[in-house]
């Protein structure tokens, strides 16, 4: 099974959203089946087979998640991040400001789903592979 240290090593190679697909492939090879990242503090819950879980610590000080979802602004910020125009901390701040609580990545479906505080799926993306 995977460890948080192995995941951090893989994540250290990610410099922008453009590096995300390769990162997902590396996690998949480790046995990660899905994960959920919480925008409020950046902690992530990683899931493997047979209910295996690893939880990373918070990555930054608490962000306030907007009560109002701004899907159009989020899509603009997401595209900019994926093109390497913003770093991870900026992307997290933009995501919080757009009302996104977390994102879930499913390795089997190769999707990344952005979810608001009410549990609504705001954007579902297919991850290139």
3-state SS of the chain is CCCHHHHHHHHCCCCCHHHHHHHHHHHHHHCCCEEEEECCCCCEEEECHHHCEEECCCCCCCCCCCCCCCHHHHHHHHHHHHCCCCCHHHHHHHHHHCCEEEEEEECCCCEEEEEECCCCEEEEEECCC
Task: Tell me yes or no: is domain 4-126 CATH 3.30.1810.10.
Answer: yes
Q: pLDDT by residue (tens digit) across 35-89?
A: 999 999 999 999 999 989 999 999 999 999 999 999 999 999 999 988 889 888 9
How far is it, in rounded angstroms, from Cα 70 to Cα 96? 10
Which pLDDT belongs to residue 69? 98
Question: Is residue 122 over pLDDT 90?
Answer: yes
């Amino acid at each position: 099974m995977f460890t948080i240290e192995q995941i951090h090593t893989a994540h250290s190679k990610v410099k922008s959203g453009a590096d995300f697909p390769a990162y997902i492939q590396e996690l998949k090879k480790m046995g990660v089946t899905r994960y959920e990242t919480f925008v409020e503090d950046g902690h992530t819950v990683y899931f493997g087979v047979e209910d295996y879980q690893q939880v990373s610590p918070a990555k930054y000080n608490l962000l306030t998640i907007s009560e109002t979802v701004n899907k159009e602004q989020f899509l603009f910020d997401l595209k900019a991040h994926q093109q390497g125009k913003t770093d991870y901390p900026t992307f997290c701040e933009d995501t919080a400001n757009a009302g996104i609580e977390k994102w879930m990545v499913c390795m089997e479906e190769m999707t990344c789903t952005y979810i608001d505080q009410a549990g609504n799926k705001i954007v579902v993306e297919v991850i290139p592979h």
